[in-house]
Amino acid sequence: MRAQLLSGDQGAWSVVDAEIISAGWATASGVGLALLAGFVLSGGATRSRGAMPFGLFVLAWAMSIVAVNIAPQFPGYARYLYVFTVGMLLVIPYLLIEFAASFASGGPRDLGWMGARWSLGALAVIGALVVAFRPGVFLESTLLTGGLVYPTWTIWKVVVDLVGIVAFGVTLLILYVSLRNAPTARTKNRLLIFVTGFGIYVGYSSGNYLVRNLSHASWSFLDPSMLYVVGFFASWALVIALGGHALRAFTEAHVEEDRRREMFIAASLLFPLGWAMAEALLVSSFFQSVGLWRLVSVAIIAYGMARWRIYDLPDRVRRAAASSTGFAGALAGGAVVFGLTSGFGGGPLVALLGGVAVTSASAGPSMRFSRRWLGPSYGDDPGAREKHRFARKVDAYRAAVETSIARGTREEDEAFLRALQEDFGIDPREARVIEHYARDAVIPVKEGDAGDAYDRIRILGQGGAGQTWLARDRARDRLVVLKEPLKRWHTSDAMIEAARSEARLAAKVRHPNVVEVEEVIEDDGVPILVMEYVSGGSLGEILRDEGALEWPRAVKLVADVAWGLSAVHQAGILHRDVKPSNVLVTEDGMAKVSDFGIARKEEDGGTRVLEGQAPAGTSGFMAPEVERGTSRGSEAADVYGCAALLHSLLTGEQPDRWSPLPDRIPEDVKDLLQRGLDPDPEMRFASAEALARALEELSVA
């Protein structure tokens, strides 16, 4: 948008002066973006996920910025440069959505973004053909004014701009929603950097351009300025909504880390927006700090992509930021003084000298302050800096070992790993300890592919035959639960074969009230079940935190468990250990049966248990016939465990079939419990399904 002629005394700025200076600032920021794009795209085989589309997006963005700002200076080439700008703008929306889709929680297919990606890709291809053969669709003509060449765009150029505005907003929204749905702290921290980066630019651009276009809008719907007002208003409203949501989350959060994260998100959205609106209202029409915000935005995201590849990058960046941010702040203050002085009638020399004076005077104090604020902090321990660096080197070495194990190239990588030990100062004893833990921490799924593996995080539980782990799925960056036989069974061929058979059988169970077994993998011949992770915790944790539950809620939860057990029984599996810790609850309050598949029903009604395994069960939840040793488990025993579970939820204590229930419990519920806890298996409910139906009738009543 052309700057208006600024009035003032002798030496006031002309339109040409304003345009040249504004274009120079913008071109400098475009060159900076191109350098950052090169940095992002230079990762090669170790490039971070999403780096390719993001790097190409930044490169296209940089080229469009440079082209549109140098075009006015070159009358003979201006038309070609303006048309080239449109070509780059057509590519940008597709690359933005492609980048956002790579981080979308649940996967881009599950979120329905495939249609958007294909549509924007087709738009880019079709638009490129139009630009090549019919550029007049976008560029009507060029106009020479004061020695500079300005474009006369058609309405279709405005449409292309609006698609880009929407793409920026949608990208921010996808990243924000993905941050909310991120399964791990690592993923949240990574997405926080990307949300911050995009939030800074979208916040600034929506506020600044909304105000500036409002001042030129004719309030006609077909007026380009009015169309821009509509687009930037939508973007502005999105920033306000997301910033407000983050502030509400801040007030509701109880964990200090969560509070810091929410405040950081809100500040990255709302502060640039407020700054931009104030700048557009108070500073001259041609002065904008958009280039600075663009550079900061892209630099933050580039940093986020690099920090997972370079072990000490955070420290490097903080040290550099501690110096450069202070100077940038001083430069920004000088630029504001420069813009205000020129905007209110000051001559060019006065404005320039004022900006230089403010920058020079504030550079030293600003840099010292930023070093204290942003520089690495190691407390009062003089050796803390070295300890911190060594810890990062240990993490980097362990990551290298884990990757080597996952790829199956441990021997080929021996020379590299030894060189890494020497470079990082890790002695052989420390290296052996790290490799021991790394070997147990990684479960490769596909040989030669380090990205397709599971990282054990912590053990969740252990029984007589197996143990469960909380783990991270590298391929999809999410939490899962791994269940595997104990190590003492790894040398028993019969045990391994039986476990493999049972694992495949369990993987066939599909029911909303059963924790899903997603796949069965093998690690050195040992079968491992990969199960869904339920984040709401177990009934055991709920009992510990809340005590006895109200009977409607308890009945509903146990009805879910009974339906899940019915599905397990229909698959030919017995649970044999129904108890609160083996029932997981989703965030919306639905119960899911977990930790099953250890015993199989035989056709004659008997039970086949894995070799060497004792009768399963937990005291208080174990059926009398199983406790006496006259049965190794049956559907009736699982029904007993389900009834005992209900008793425990209603009383908040270990179940005892002779203990009286509180008076608040309806008689129908007491009668159901009496039948479910009957010592005679024949007198209990005929099946888990029959128990589930009886429980649902109580819920309705």
List of domains in the chain? 15-309 (1.20.1070), 310-373 (no CATH), 385-444 (no CATH), 453-532 (3.30.200.20), 539-700 (1.10.510.10)
CA distance 507 to 518: 7
Q: Which helix (H) or strand (E) holds 686?
A: none
pLDDT category, 50, cuts 50, 70, 90?
Answer: confident
Interacting residues of 104 by C-beta distance below 8 A, sequence separation 6+? 111, 113, 174, 177, 178
Residue 109 has pLDDT above 80, yes or no: no
CA distance 128 to 61: 16
Residue 646 has pLDDT above 70, yes or no: yes
Residue 216 has pLDDT above 80, yes or no: no
Spell out the alpha helix ranges (H) of 408-492.
414-424, 428-441
Per-residue confidence (pLDDT) for residue 345, from 0 to 100: 64
Rounded to an integer, the average pLDDT of 348-360 is 77
Beta carbons of 256 and 263 less than 8 angstroms apart: no
Residue 620 has pLDDT above 90, yes or no: no
Greater pLDDT, 692 or 183: 692
Quickly tell me which residue has 């009015």 as its tokens: 226
**Range picked from 466-480, 483-497, 531-545, 610-624 for highest mean pLDDT:** 531-545
pLDDT digits (tens, 9 = 90+) for 157-170: 888 899 999 999 99
pLDDT digits (tens, 9 = 90+) for 271-304: 999 998 988 887 665 567 888 889 889 999 888 8
Tokens of 547: 């005590």
Residue 673 has pLDDT above 80, yes or no: yes
Spell out the alpha helix ranges (H) of 551-623.
551-570
Residue 204 has pLDDT above 90, yes or no: yes
CA distance 423 to 410: 19
pLDDT digits (tens, 9 = 90+) for 302-347: 888 877 666 556 666 666 667 777 777 777 777 777 777 766 666 6
Q: pTM of the prediction?
A: 0.57
pLDDT category, 612, cuts 50, 70, 90?
Answer: very low
Rounded to an integer, the average pLDDT of 644-657 is 83
CA distance 542 to 550: 13
Per-residue confidence (pLDDT) for residue 327, from 0 to 100: 73
Per-residue confidence (pLDDT) for residue 554, from 0 to 100: 93
Rounded to an integer, the average pLDDT of 685-693 is 93
Tokens of 639: 């029904």
Interacting residues of 283 by C-beta distance below 8 A, sequence separation 6+? 336, 339, 340, 343
Greater pLDDT, 395 or 376: 395
Per-residue confidence (pLDDT) for residue 241, from 0 to 100: 95
Let me know the angle formed at the C-alpha of 419 by 415 and 422, rounded to the nearest 5 degrees.
145
Percent of the chain with pLDDT strictly greater than 70: 75
Residue 145 dihedral angles phi and psi, to the nearest 5°: -135, 120
- Supply the mean pLDDT for the chain: 78
Quickly tell me which residue has 């690099």 as its tokens: 306
Residue 648 has pLDDT above 60, yes or no: yes
Per-residue confidence (pLDDT) for residue 236, from 0 to 100: 94
Per-residue confidence (pLDDT) for residue 186, from 0 to 100: 64
Which phi-psi region, left, alpha or beta, contains residue 11 (left: φ > 0; alpha: ψ -120 to 50)? Answer: left
Tokens of 492: 């028993």
Rounded to an integer, the average pLDDT of 522-528 is 75
Which of these, 429, 388, 199, 227, lies nearest to 304 by C-alpha position? 199
* Residue 689 Cα distances to 160, 298, 563, 600, 671, angstroms: 59, 57, 6, 18, 18
Per-residue confidence (pLDDT) for residue 543, from 0 to 100: 87
Per-residue confidence (pLDDT) for residue 285, from 0 to 100: 58
Per-residue confidence (pLDDT) for residue 362, from 0 to 100: 81
Residue 267 has pLDDT above 60, yes or no: yes
Which phi-psi region, left, alpha or beta, contains residue 310 (left: φ > 0; alpha: ψ -120 to 50)? Answer: beta
pLDDT category, 265, cuts 50, 70, 90?
Answer: very high
Per-residue confidence (pLDDT) for residue 521, from 0 to 100: 80
Which of these, 74, 83, 60, lies nearest to 23 by C-alpha position? 74
Beta carbons of 562 and 516 less than 8 angstroms apart: no
Per-residue confidence (pLDDT) for residue 33, from 0 to 100: 87
Residue 200 has pLDDT above 90, yes or no: yes
pLDDT category, 11, cuts 50, 70, 90?
Answer: very low
Greater pLDDT, 619 or 672: 672
pLDDT digits (tens, 9 = 90+) for 247-257: 998 888 776 77
Greater pLDDT, 565 or 327: 565
Of the candidate ranges 467-481, 487-501, 615-629, the one whose mean pLDDT is the lowest = 487-501
Residue 193 has pLDDT above 70, yes or no: yes
CA distance 11 to 164: 39
* Residue 64 Cα distances to 26, 31, 53, 149, 224, angstroms: 11, 11, 16, 16, 20
Interacting residues of 404 by C-beta distance below 8 A, sequence separation 6+? 410, 413, 417, 450
Per-residue confidence (pLDDT) for residue 487, from 0 to 100: 66
Rounded to an integer, the average pLDDT of 354-377 is 75
Could you count the other beta carbons within 10 Å of the beta carbon of residue 498?
A: 23
Rounded to an integer, the average pLDDT of 664-684 is 90
pLDDT category, 6, cuts 50, 70, 90?
Answer: very low
Greater pLDDT, 189 or 268: 268
Per DSSP, 12 falls in state P
Residue 8 has pLDDT above 50, yes or no: no
Per-residue confidence (pLDDT) for residue 418, from 0 to 100: 84
Residue 135 has pLDDT above 70, yes or no: yes
Residue 631 has pLDDT above 80, yes or no: no
